Amino acid sequence: MGSGESIIVHGEQGALTADPATSWTLPSRYYTDPAIHELEQQRIFRRAWTYVGHVGELAAPGSYLTDTLAGQPVLVVRDRAGGLRAFYNVCRHRGHLLLEGCGQLKAGITCPYHAWTYGLDGALKAARLTETVADFDKARFALRPLRLEVVAGLIFLNLDSNAGPLSSEAAGFEETLLGHLPELATFTLKARIHFDIKANWKVCVDNFSEAYHIPVAHPELSRLHGGQPKAARTGERFAFYRNIGRSSYQGFPVQPDEPYVSWTLWPHHCMLSLPGSRHLIMLRMAPEGPRRCLERADILAPPGETSPNLEHVQALFAERFNREDIAIVESVQLGLESLGYDQGRYVVDAADSWFSESALHRFHRQVVEALA
């Protein structure tokens, strides 16, 4: 075995190696074992940059959104100076959740349990009946902050205070976004759709990472794009594929040479922009146990974009392509539980095309290395 085939992990059939041409796939235990799920929470999701929303959702001071990352409740708020701040969404008194959903704050953040009140900068402003509490110092009870970065209008958080900047970890990612959608930072949220999927989060990312299945499982989608898409930009943390939509596609008008593009961003983000309208579909595959994934799909577009094409994109994605994919990944999860399967092989080509499984191999290697 050459140096390019160094073993990363063993399965029943063979080894996952650094060379996709000779490697076996990720063993099935990585999709079913509760211990591996817990390790992923600690070593992947509590260290990774995670998308939570778009700056257009937080246009005015006092606007906020909440989310849950790796089991941790978080909030993002726009402060009085116009900056974005992120905190753990828990009161420093007894741990009650501070905010739910999204909305607009009239003043500060007030806990619904005992009415401790925080400024939009996270500082504790008022705590009822603490005047006589010995050595009580408001400065010690500020909300605990989180790392926040904005990339082309997309808001990312990281629970790890020592994590490297997203701009360094995924160098070139913002460039590819703005190269296709230069006005992305001015987009607004057109729809947010949730899917509860009975499959491991990695099965969902696996499925998005290759187009080998598209001519078989998505015949209508395969008619929308033409040729063999190739990786336009690939790094350790993201990949960007670009193709051309077919102008003959029936359903909505597609101009000649209009691009069809997709991205993956470590660890659980999948993005695409179909030809026919200016938009970005942002998918986040959040693990909810070893056999369940909560997928969130945000559809972003320019503020005035209300074209029939955009409505058709939403219908195609949510009601057809994504439903087809959900049926696929739930079936795969059942197969991964079977005694009749542990590993397969990667179908790859030298061109690293979208129709090969080289990106799938890269993702599997990253998972194992992150857990090591």
Phi, psi dihedrals of residue 155, rounded to the nearest 5°: -95, 125
Distance CA 297, CA 243 (A): 22
Q: Domain ranges in the chain?
A: 50-162, 167-371
Q: What is the mean pLDDT of the chain?
A: 90
Band the pLDDT of 250: cuts 50, 70, 90.
Answer: low
Tell me what the mean pLDDT of segment 41-68 comes to: 98
Distance CA 200, CA 30 (A): 9
Quick one: pLDDT at residue 3?
39
16 pLDDT exceeds 80? yes
Distance CA 210, CA 235 (A): 16
Helix locations, the chain, DSSP H: 34-40, 166-169, 173-180, 201-208, 214-217, 219-224, 308-315, 322-336, 358-371
Distance CA 80, CA 269 (A): 31
Band the pLDDT of 349: cuts 50, 70, 90.
Answer: confident
Quick one: pLDDT at residue 313?
76
Percent of the chain exceeding pLDDT 70 equals 91
Domain 167-371 has CATH 3.90.380.10: yes
Tell me what the mean pLDDT of segment 236-247 comes to: 77
Tell me whether residue 143 is exposed, middle or buried, using C-beta atoms within 10 angstroms of its C-beta: 0 to 12, 13 to 18, 19 or more: buried
181 pLDDT exceeds 90? yes
Quick one: pLDDT at residue 271?
96
Quick one: pLDDT at residue 317?
72
Percent of the chain exceeding pLDDT 90 equals 72
Give, in order, the Cα–Cα distances in Å from 227 to each of 105, 352, 353: 50, 14, 10
Tell me what the mean pLDDT of segment 171-175 comes to: 94
Are 151 and 181 spatial neighbours (Cβ–Cβ below 8 Å)?
Answer: no
Angle between helices 201-208 and 322-336 (to 10 degrees): 130
Are 172 and 287 spatial neighbours (Cβ–Cβ below 8 Å)?
Answer: no
234 pLDDT exceeds 80? no
Least confident span in 54-63, 123-132, 227-236, 272-281? 227-236
Distance CA 139, CA 304 (A): 44
pLDDT digits (tens, 9 = 90+) for 93-113: 999 999 999 999 999 999 999
Quick one: pLDDT at residue 4?
45
Tell me whether residue 336 is exposed, middle or buried, using C-beta atoms within 10 angstroms of its C-beta: 0 to 12, 13 to 18, 19 or more: buried
Least confident span in 17-21, 86-90, 97-101, 144-148? 17-21
- Please report where in the chains the tokens 């979208």 appear, as a residue: 354
CATH number of 50-162: 2.102.10.10
pLDDT digits (tens, 9 = 90+) for 78-94: 999 999 999 999 999 99
Distance CA 121, CA 103 (A): 17
Are 260 and 225 spatial neighbours (Cβ–Cβ below 8 Å)?
Answer: yes
Least confident span in 131-140, 179-188, 202-211, 233-242? 233-242
Band the pLDDT of 253: cuts 50, 70, 90.
Answer: low
Distance CA 300, CA 282 (A): 8
Quick one: pLDDT at residue 2?
40
Quick one: pLDDT at residue 219?
74
